Amino acid sequence: MAMQLNTLVREACEHMCPLPPVAGAVSAVRRRVGAVLADWRVSPEIVEDSLLVVSELVTNAVIHAAPPAMLRLSWVRAGGTGTLHIEVTDAGPALPPGQSRLGIDPDECGRGQEIVRALATRHGSRTHAGGVTRWADLVAV
């Protein structure tokens, strides 16, 4: 019976963080997320990948999207599995499609999406009245 109770225990945590559209925001947010993941005791097997996914999603919002932007993390542990859900919501593209910001190397664009795709168990985006939300889930077993 005790074993069955342990598998039914569900723990959930959530953290939200506004993303300032300034240089240095990505590294500051990454440090903050690292501290949050440590407090939540997120499975070490996904922490480094999670920090990289956070960096890529936040970078996309800070460089390519209009403010405001918000990072939302949630960690759900149930039974022997934990899922970290990462999402970044922004106000949508800062520039019309086809235009790029000065100083951004066009060869660098799109690499973040590939990194997220490679590391996340699931990922995606949704467009809504307030802008765009890009998300990724990382699962630890």
Residue 110: the pLDDT is: 64
Question: Rounded CA gap, 115 and 52, in Å?
Answer: 8
- Mean pLDDT of residues grouped by 10 in the chain (141 residues)? 49 93 92 97 94 96 93 92 96 71 53 92 94 97 87
* Per-residue tokens: 77: 């542990």
Domain ranges of the chain: 2-95+107-140
**pTM of the shown model:** 0.83
Pick from 138, 134, 132, 133: which is nearest to 118 by CA? Answer: 138
* Per-residue tokens: 109: 């664009």
In CATH, 2-95+107-140 is 3.40.1180.10:
no
